[in-house]
Structure 1
């Protein structure tokens, strides 16, 4: 998905300087298996998510992002946690610097998922213990570690 109109309007004023943005992250799982996506811009595996748009509820943003990137619908079971700081800072290939404050939601799929081919190169299910062996965004380890089995 291209940059949102909101972020584009900010970028027109500040260029590639650092932006702190609200985000959402889908921790899609089936028991101890987690759905991860390999992202085009980095080639790394991570969770699926994106930015909260002005006027959107975070849960609406989550559903929109998952649908846009995978064509799938999710059922939210609860909030895993809220994450920010250095691990959530990214410099994109075009030089844009972003820091996210993301709310991670524990989710289950209610329809089939397929990578969009634009933002996501592939998606796959991984057991919890296989995730540390993947080329990945390190911050997902903390999020996945915080997932409670009773959610």
Structure 2
């Protein structure tokens, strides 16, 4: 994941100290298929994820990140889940924790492709045939697809 410039700037002041950051997961659906990216840094399949820029609404971040990473245009249908990730320590020693906003999004157009250096592959997968991925990402997809009623807060 490319580190946003504002975080690089913060790190000059705070070093490896824990940063609390707003993040998003965009579960983009096209019929019974979900858009996934294979992360260039870890090789893991995930939905589109990203960090909110300062002052940016999380729904706007979801749409922006999807277009920047995959070339796919989408719109947010709903906020399915707000969750807090465990603390993540990166190989360089930086520590971050995210309040994740999982959005269910609808495909509007665009051919899915690798659009930046954050992913090595981009593809649509049938919901019934997802590739191996971390349990938290499967749960975000499951929650976004099945969501009805109020936003899940856990």
Is 1:39 paired with 2:36? Answer: no
Q: How does 1:1-151 map to 2 (within 5 A)?
A: 2-86=2-86, 89-112=87-110, 113-131=112-130, 134=132, 136-149=133-146
The CA deviation at 1:117 is 4.6
Contact 2:26-2:105 within 8 A present in 1 as well:
yes
Contact residue 81 and residue 103 of structure 1 kept, 8 A: yes
Question: How far did 1:138 drift?
Answer: 2.3
Q: What is the Cα deviation at residue 150 of structure 1?
A: 7.4
Question: Could you say if the C-alpha distance between residues 106 and 95 of structure 1 is closer, same or farther in structure 2, counting changes exceeding 3 Å?
Answer: same
- Taking structure 1 as reference, are residues 130 and 90 closer, same or farther at Cα in structure 2, changes over 3 Å only? farther
Q: CA deviation at 1:149?
A: 4.8
Q: Distance in 2 between matches of 1:49 and 1:109?
A: 16
* Aligned-CA RMSD value: 2.1
> Aligned partners of 2:47 and 2:145: how far apart in 1?
17
What is the TM-score normalised by the length of structure 1? 0.85
1:148 shift after superposition: 4.0
Q: Secondary structure at the match of 2:123?
A: strand
Q: Cα distance 1:104–1:18, how it changes in 2: closer, same or farther (>3 A)?
A: same
- Give 5+ residue unaligned stretches, structure 1: none
Instruction: Decide whether the 8 Å contact of 1:38 with 1:44 is kept in 2.
Output: yes
Aligned positions, number: 147
Unaligned segments of structure 2, at least 5 residues: 149-154
Query: Is this contact kept in 2: 1:41–1:93, CA < 8 A?
Result: no
